[in-house]
Structure 1
Amino acid sequence: MGTPPEPARDTAAPRELRRGGKRRVSRRAAAEKRSFTATMKALDTLAQSGANVSVRVIDLDRGTPVLAGDDHVTLPVAGLGLVPLLVEVAAQIEAGGLDPLEIVDRADVGAVAVSGVWQHLKAPALPVVDLAVLAASAGDALAANALIGKVGLEAVRARIEKLGLERTALIDAFRDERGPDDAPQVALSSARELADLFAALVNSTAVSPAVSAQVAEWLSLNHDLSLVASATGLDPFAHDDDDHGLLFVNKTGRDTGVRVEAGVLAGPRAGVAYALIVCFDDLSIMHRSRAHDAFRTLGVELMEYVF
């Protein structure tokens, strides 16, 4: 897996990550004492068992990595492919090419039940902006496919290229089953590019400040706090305004033998953008639990780093 990079020293003023109008104070000397020893041990164990592991953590004050292991490797990321899709949706809304209140009929979207809640709702049609909320908050495959239908896969791929992401691709829509004529994966990426993308969102450099803010707002509604985010202790259904000054945005991806999470975590001491991809043989509950435990270990050490 490799070892955590030595934190780089610089003299530049740290970027401000604001919450509630207050500037976050970076306690750099204390943060440098933090390590990711337990995370590296857990990930090394997974790698030795045959899993493919890719991890990256960036200190947002410096813009430098504090943890990296095979972060350049391209791997399946399942629902994380929604993030560049949401960026394209927000960009088209900002440009005036897509009406956020345009109604999309569920009957016009191919049935898919792999994840989400729209399939269970009585409302047969929803506006584009509500579909974005469902896709971001609940990983709703039907809503995601509806958004892909509105903006087009080619537009998402072009947006990915404009964002400078060379190892990221949204290949296909979500499907309940993948046949021999279908793409084998929904999306691919690397931990490095996922962490960089989330850093760009919170730094307001993904397309534009307005697009960055809109996508970050959608992702802040994500309900899946069961992996890295389990260490935050946040309410999965209401975590956009934490009393302890914790800023948190994340997205997860899940498929058979695939677990992924990327996000931004910022506290009073420091802020980080992170991504972890684990592709493993899902042979039993124990195999899956070991993969999940590695995510939770990373979450604990991230919390120690930012607080």
Structure 2
Amino acid sequence: MSTTHPPLTDAARWSVLVRDVATGELLLSRSPDAELSAASAPKLLLLVACAMLAERGELDLDEALDRSSAEPVGDSGLWQHLAQSTLSACDAAMLVGAVSDNLATNVLLERIGLDAVERVRAELGIEGVRLHDRVRDRRGLEHPARLGTASATGLADLMARLATRTLRSAAVSDRVLGWLRHSVDLSMVASAFGKDPLSHGHGADLPRLVNKTGTDAGVRVDTGLVVGARRTLAYAALASWQHEAAATDAVLTSMRVIGAELRRLAEA
């Protein structure tokens, strides 16, 4: 990042990029092409694949999906706590976008296949973002080492294509943005905007915010779009550190620094 901005903690390895969507101007950057563990952020590729397959008629978003089709998995999400055992594919995707629902992720992957996600990624030319596996409570030596990896360049470019409605088509782009609009995790970069995490996706007040996050031991990721009065910004910030180290507070403080700069740039 530029020396005119407050520094980020050295306790983590960073990949950061902020770009003006309309002009392509690079506004903030720090090791933007470094590919790091990205936790749940690459679930974006699953949402893109679902939207693409729906447009092609290969996935009916009204299709009822049963959570028993995938092994139970814990941590993030709501479906594991609900009485309803079946949801439409569209509602499952909404849970992934809103609360990064692990069970909904795995049920959708069981329905369309991880190979389909990879084919869509390659077809659309999405670089620097990979979903390697389904979510697992225990990741053994026989499994991929990470759920997903990404670079700030890859995530920010994907967000910019969504903003310009050029990710395959306007319909696909709008569908993915609709699933992301109600994300409740505003704990990282997005925390600087003071939005209500439970209702920020409804109003028209500027700046508007759409984001997807990822959290794991030693990993924090936040990527999204900020629509301000002056311009629309695509951003991504990834931090990775040895999870035994007590770096979480310093990383979140640094992410809020990035968010404060985003807010200044969007509202100026």
TM range (shorter): over 0.9
Q: Distance in 1 between matches of 2:127 and 2:159?
A: 15
Match of 2:97 in 1: 136
Match of 2:211 in 1: 250
One-letter amino acid of the structure 2 residue matched with residue 118 of structure 1: W
SS at match of 1:57: strand
Residues 114 and 175 of structure 1 are in contact (CA less than 8 Å); yes or no, is this contact kept in structure 2? Answer: no
Match of 1:28 in 2: none
Gaps in structure 1 of 5+ consecutive residues: 5-35
1:206-285 pair list within 5 angstroms? 206-242=167-203, 244-283=205-244
Q: Distance in 2 between matches of 1:241 and 1:130?
A: 17
Residue deviations 1:2-40 (CA, integer Å, cap 9, x gap): 538xxxxxxxxxxxxxxxxxxxxxxxxxxxxxxx612xx
Residues 128 and 155 of structure 2 are in contact (CA less than 8 Å); yes or no, is this contact kept in structure 1? Answer: no
Residues 234 and 242 of structure 1 are in contact (CA less than 8 Å); yes or no, is this contact kept in structure 2? Answer: no
| RMSD of aligned residue pairs (Cα, Å) | 1.4
How far has the Cα of 1:59 moved from its partner?
1.0
How far has the Cα of 1:164 moved from its partner?
1.6
Match of 1:298 in 2: 258
How far has the Cα of 1:61 moved from its partner?
2.6
TM norm structure 1: 0.84
How far has the Cα of 1:174 moved from its partner?
0.3
Residues 257 and 279 of structure 1 are in contact (CA less than 8 Å); yes or no, is this contact kept in structure 2? Answer: yes
SS at match of 1:269: coil
Q: Distance in 1 between matches of 2:258 and 2:144?
A: 31
One-letter amino acid of the structure 2 residue matched with residue 37 of structure 1: H
1:170-209 pair list within 5 angstroms? 170-209=131-170
Higher-Rg member (1/2): 1
**Residue 123 (1) aligns with residue 123 (2):** no
How far has the Cα of 1:167 moved from its partner?
2.6
One-letter amino acid of the structure 2 residue matched with residue 290 of structure 1: A
Match of 2:5 in 1: 37
1:146-165 pair list within 5 angstroms? 146-165=107-126
Q: Distance in 1 between matches of 2:128 and 2:229?
A: 33
Residue deviations 1:78-133 (CA, integer Å, cap 9, x gap): 11111011000011111111111111111111110121110000001111001001
Gaps in structure 2 of 5+ consecutive residues: none
The alignment-based identity, stated in percent, is: 36
One-letter amino acid of the structure 2 residue matched with residue 239 of structure 1: H
**Residue 68 (1) aligns with residue 68 (2):** no
SS at match of 2:58: coil
One-letter amino acid of the structure 2 residue matched with residue 82 of structure 1: K
How far has the Cα of 1:166 moved from its partner?
3.1
One-letter amino acid of the structure 2 residue matched with residue 244 of structure 1: D
SS at match of 2:116: helix
Q: Distance in 1 between matches of 2:128 and 2:190?
A: 25
Q: Distance in 1 between matches of 2:156 and 2:204?
A: 25
One-letter amino acid of the structure 2 residue matched with residue 184 of structure 1: A
Q: Distance in 2 between matches of 1:124 and 1:87?
A: 24
**Residue 3 (1) aligns with residue 2 (2):** yes
Q: Distance in 2 between matches of 1:61 and 1:141?
A: 34
How far has the Cα of 1:243 moved from its partner?
5.2
